[in-house]
Amino acid sequence: MPVTEKDLAEDAPWKKIQQNTFTRWCNEHLKCVNKRIGNLQTDLSDGLRLIALLEVLSQKRMYRKYHQRPTFRQMQLENVSVALEFLDRENIKLVSIDSKAIVDGNLKLILGLVWTLILHYSISMPVWEDEGDDDAKKQTPKQRLLGWIQNKIPYLPITNFNQNWQDGKALGALVDSCAPGLCPDWESWDPRKPVDNAREAMQQADDWLGVPQVITPEEIIHPDVDEHSVMTYLSQFPKAKLKPGAPLKPKLNPKKARAYGRGKQQSCWI
C-alpha cells in the first residue's frame, strides 16, 4: 500500500493516537463539571458535552438556551448550532464544520473542531511566563509553543513535534528545566529505552507539575505520532507549577558544566 494511502486509512496509527489524545484533553477539562467523553465520534452528537466543554474552556455561559434533554435529532442539531454560534461570537473560526457533521459523527471534522479549541484555549490565548502580548500575536501557535520550548531547553536541537521527542530524553530535559532536580539525570537515559524514558518524565510531570498525560508514553514515542497530539500534550507545560514536597534531586555531577548552542553561549549544569 502506498504511504499516502496508508496514512489516509481509517485505522492509521496517527489517527488513533490523535483521537485518544484529543479525547483525554477534553476529559481533563470536563471532569470539573462531572462529565466525560467515551467516544469522541459519537458523544458530542447531542451537543450537551460540547456545550459543557465550551463553557469550561471559556468560563462563559452559552448566549442562548438549549435543550437539556435532546431526545430528537432536531433538538440535537439545535444544541450543536448553539455551540457553533457561541464559537462564532467568540471569533473562533471553523472551516467546513456544521451541526450536521457533529450530530452525524464525522470524525475528521470533529477532530478538526477539537484541534481548533486546543489551538485557541491551550496555545494561543494564555500569556505565558516571560512572554509579552506582542510576542504571542506575531507568531503562529506552533511557532509560539516551539519557541517557548526552545527557550526552556536551548541545549537540545528541538525543531519539531514528532521525531525530536521519540527517545524520551527531551521530555526529561523539559521536565527538569521546569523543575530543576525532578529529572536530573535525563542526559544519561538510554535512548534505546524510549518508553521507559518517556514514562519517567511524564509521570514526574503528572505527579509534581500538574501536567496530565493526555498522551501515553507509548504513543508519544510512536514513529507515526502526529504533531498535533504532541503539541496538545506539550502545551500544558507553560502553565505547569511545581507542587510542594516534590522529590528534587541534585544533578549527577554538579561540578561539571558544558556550553551548548551557536553564537550566544548557553550553559547547563549536568
List, for residues 100-130, the tens digit of each pLDDT value. 999 999 999 999 999 999 999 999 876 777 6
Using the predicted structure, report yes or no on whether residue 195 has a pLDDT greater than 50: yes
Q: pTM for this one?
A: 0.87
Rounded (10°) CA dihedral 195, 197, 202, 203: 100
Q: With contact defined as beta carbons under 8 Å apart, do 45 and 105 qualify? A: yes
Secondary structure class of 190 (helix, strand, coil)? coil
Which pLDDT score is estimated for 7? 56
The pLDDT of 51-60, averaged and rounded, is 97
Per-residue confidence band for 38, with pLDDT thresholds at 50, 70 and 90: very high
- The answer as to CATH 1.10.10.10 being correct for domain 12-124 is no
Q: Whose grid coordinates read 507539575?
A: 209
Per-residue pLDDT band at 266 (split at 50, 70, 90) = very low
Report pLDDT for 148. 94
| CB 230, CB 174: distance < 8 Å | no
The residue type at 260: Y
Domain spans of the chain, in order of start: 12-124, 141-250
Cα(234)–Cα(213) distance, rounded to whole angstroms? 10
Across the range 54-71, mean pLDDT stands at 96
Q: Side-chain half-sphere of 76: how many Cα atoms within 13 Å? A: 15
According to the model, what pLDDT value does residue 255 have? 43
- Report pLDDT for 269: 37
**pLDDT (tens digit per residue) in 227-248:** 999 999 999 999 999 999 999 9
Can you give the pLDDT at residue 268?
38
Rounded Cα distance between 198 and 219, Å, is 10
Q: Do domains 12-124 and 141-250 have the same CATH topology?
A: yes
Is the per-residue pLDDT at 270 higher than 60? no
Average pLDDT, the chain: 89
Q: Is the pLDDT of residue 87 over 60?
A: yes
For the domain spanning 141-250, the CATH number is 1.10.418.10
- Cα(78)–Cα(116) distance, rounded to whole angstroms? 21
- Cα angle 82, 235, 206; round to 5: 110
User: What is the rounded CA–CA span in Å between residue 153 and residue 146?
Assistant: 11
CB-CB contact of 112 with 104 (8 Å): no
DSSP-H helix ranges across the chain: 3-8, 13-30, 48-58, 73-89, 99-103, 107-118, 133-138, 141-152, 169-178, 194-209, 217-220, 227-234
DSSP 187: G
Compute the distance between CA of residue 30 and CA of residue 37 in angstroms, rounded to an integer.
8
What is the band of 190 on the pLDDT scale with cuts at 50, 70, 90? very high
- Asked if 175 contacts 182 with a C-beta cutoff of 8 angstroms, the reply is yes
Chain centroid to Cα 30, Å, comes to 15
Instruction: Tell me the three cell numbers of residue 11.
Output: 485505522
pLDDT-based confidence at residue 267 (cuts at 50, 70, 90): very low
pLDDT of residue 176: 98
List the one residue out of 172, 165, 169, 153 whose CA is nearest residue 249: 172
Q: Which three cell numbers stand for residue 33?
A: 463539571
Q: Per residue in 1-35, pLDDT tens?
A: 444 544 556 678 999 999 999 999 999 999 999 99
Taking residues 194-218, what's their average pLDDT? 98
132-156 tens-digit pLDDT: 666 666 789 999 999 999 999 999 9
pLDDT over 70, % of the chain: 86
